[in-house]
Structure 1
Amino acid sequence: MKKPAGFLVAAVFAVFSLPLAAQDAPDAGTVLARVGGTEITLGHAIALRAALPDQFQAVPNETLFPAIVEQLIEQELLNQNHADALTLRERITLENEARNFIANAALMGVAAEAATDESVQIAYDAFVAEFGQGEPTTEYNAAHILVRTEEEIQAVVTELESGREFADVAREFSLDGSSAAGGDLGWFGEGVMIEPFEQAVLALEPGEVSDPVETRFGWHVILLNETRAASVPTLEMVRDDLEAQIQREATRAHLEGLREAADIDNRSDAVDPTYLGRSDLLDE
């Protein structure tokens, strides 16, 4: 027996008039589709969307959502149909990819846990203490003019000898990105610049201009503005380096701990290394 139309309208109205808070919000486990007995969830869709190439990142979610769900459905159809038909090469490749993914996830987790604000501060304090115990170092503030050929650098020298300001000549002639700032390179320490350039800087007194210097980038003339004793870099200046050091040490310690606790039987010495190139062994 058909229900009265008025009852259906009232029921629909009652459902949609519920407060939003009473409705369950989707989560990663929300099922978007089923393929046989396999569920495709919102979590699967979110992960696939995040892994799309850069050119898709600006595409609205409203456009991507149905396409992503369809892609996941088709992938699962192919997975169910073909999983048992993988070749030896494909099975081994899949095992390697899964192993690599899990290993990277493990190391990223260890690294993230290790590089805390507290551990970075401890590393920075140790860095500052070591810095203070080292030999005093000098920093240099310089500007340069870079051109391609020896003829061009002679023209630059002529301009400077005529009394023109170094910055003005740099803006007119220099090919370097610093030309807009009059050739200004800011402050730098030893070991930062390539050797011919650095040696020329070290030979200058503040206010002096070098003779032409040739490097692999071209020909330079260099103005040494001033020098100063190197100061301890701030935490923010070295934070990235400290975090990377902490993460390297933490992941290495984690791996060493796993090795010590594991039963590893490495028998590779018994196999001729030339077999590593025998990809034909993967052909069934």
Structure 2
Amino acid sequence: MRKGVTFLTTLVLAGALALPVKAQDTPSPDTVVATVNGTDITLGHVIVAFSTLPAQYQQLDPNVLLPGIIDQLVRQAALAQSFDGEPSLAARLALENEERSLIAGEAVEIVMREAVTAEAVQETYQALYANGTAGEEYNASHILVETQEEAQAIITELEGGADFATLAQEKSTGPSGPSGGELGWFGPGRMVPDFEAAVIALDVGAISQPVQTQFGWHVIKLNDTRTVDAPALEEVRSDIELEIRQQAVSEHIEALVAEADIVRPDLSDLDPSAISNLDLLSD
């Protein structure tokens, strides 16, 4: 599939050789920076082009970037005007996808902007830290082995008086083995669900039965627990705002899809490998 012309190398070279652009006191998106055969290129076009550049290019001196981007847009305009005929099917479909994506992005921005209010932030904070704490944290150690039989044998040794840290150093296949299996302090959501559930169910000092996760079989010892004080609102404001935005967008999209008249044809006869068949787009 054809790709848009970007001229990134040319952009940098042209910008480095170009004369400085005269600064204006009150720039606006409608400020004309070049005209190609009667078609204006504006500062707004330049700003959008800049926003799509790779990060390493955005770090360049604006005195280099501005004339370079203008030169890029002038070249693209001249090429586009020289094109005679209808765009290819691939180009037309790409334009449709791009328009759909950009407008959807605008809709998402509106939803996120409207969702984050002072009231919503305060309500979310209160829901997370209603009792003035951030919940429990756990300090645990574990011994990781490959089979349930190995885990059960380790439990038998521990019940016979063996030292947990020593067995972890000798037998654990996990990265915490050399440090006696110690995992340090962690809160809810930091460990895989089955491991976390086993930790929460233990009393301090107790040792679990074998616990299976995708990593293998664990023997877990709960060393201690503690209650963590709730952070100040300002410490977690950015996280709360992000959560509100994500939740609002998710709920908004789910509602739109639920209300939309969507028809999904039977695709059982469609070969999934067709998604990579660019020959289908040949005019």
TM-score, normalised to structure 1, is 0.60
Q: Give how far 1:210 is off.
A: 3.9
Structure 1 unpaired stretches of 5+: 1-20, 133-137
Q: Match of 1:14?
A: none
Where 1:142 maps in the other structure, the secondary structure is strand
Cα deviations by residue, 1:63-112 (Å, 9 ceiling, x for unpaired)? 33333222111111222222743124432431332133113212322321
Amino acid at match of 2:138: N
**Distance in 2 separating the partners of 1:186 and 1:178:** 19
* CA RMSD, 1 decimal: 5.1
Greater helix share, structure number = 1
**Distance in 1 separating the partners of 2:203 and 2:243:** 32
**Distance in 1 separating the partners of 2:87 and 2:280:** 16
**Distance in 1 separating the partners of 2:230 and 2:84:** 59
**Distance in 1 separating the partners of 2:51 and 2:60:** 12
Amino acid at match of 1:241: E
Change (3 A) 1:217 1:268: closer
Change (3 A) 1:39 1:24: same
Cα deviations by residue, 1:12-40 (Å, 9 ceiling, x for unpaired)? xxxxxxxxx9x634333332221111122
Cα deviations by residue, 1:140-160 (Å, 9 ceiling, x for unpaired)? 5132245565799889x989x
**Distance in 2 separating the partners of 1:177 and 1:104:** 47
Q: Give how far 1:43 is off.
A: 2.3
Q: Match of 1:32?
A: 33
2:72 pairs with 1:75? no
Where 2:187 maps in the other structure, the secondary structure is strand
**Distance in 1 separating the partners of 2:60 and 2:92:** 34
Q: Match of 1:60?
A: 61
**Distance in 1 separating the partners of 2:211 and 2:254:** 44
Matched ranges for 1:173-192 at <5 A: 174-176=174-176, 182-188=182-188
Structure 2 unpaired stretches of 5+: 1-22
**Distance in 2 separating the partners of 1:205 and 1:90:** 64
**Distance in 2 separating the partners of 1:210 and 1:275:** 51
Q: Match of 2:117?
A: 116
Contact 2:165 2:180 in 1 (8 A): no
**Distance in 1 separating the partners of 2:222 and 2:164:** 16
**Distance in 2 separating the partners of 1:229 and 1:250:** 36
**Distance in 1 separating the partners of 2:102 and 2:182:** 49
**Distance in 2 separating the partners of 1:202 and 1:267:** 44
Contact 1:142 1:222 in 2 (8 A): no
Q: Give how far 1:175 is off.
A: 0.6
Change (3 A) 1:185 1:222: farther
Q: Match of 1:141?
A: 138
Where 1:184 maps in the other structure, the secondary structure is strand
Contact 1:144 1:220 in 2 (8 A): no
Q: Match of 1:244?
A: 246
**Distance in 2 separating the partners of 1:249 and 1:267:** 18
Contact 2:115 2:248 in 1 (8 A): yes
Where 1:66 maps in the other structure, the secondary structure is helix
**Distance in 1 separating the partners of 2:85 and 2:51:** 29
Change (3 A) 1:31 1:179: farther
The structure with the larger Rg is 1
Contact 1:145 1:179 in 2 (8 A): no
Amino acid at match of 2:61: P
Change (3 A) 1:94 1:163: closer
**Distance in 1 separating the partners of 2:254 and 2:178:** 41
**Distance in 2 separating the partners of 1:140 and 1:218:** 24
Contact 1:111 1:251 in 2 (8 A): no
Indicate the percent of aligned positions where both proteins have the same amino acid.
Answer: 35
Where 1:188 maps in the other structure, the secondary structure is coil
Q: Report how many aligned residue pairs link the two structures.
A: 244
Q: 1:223 aligns with which of 208, 221, 224?
A: 221
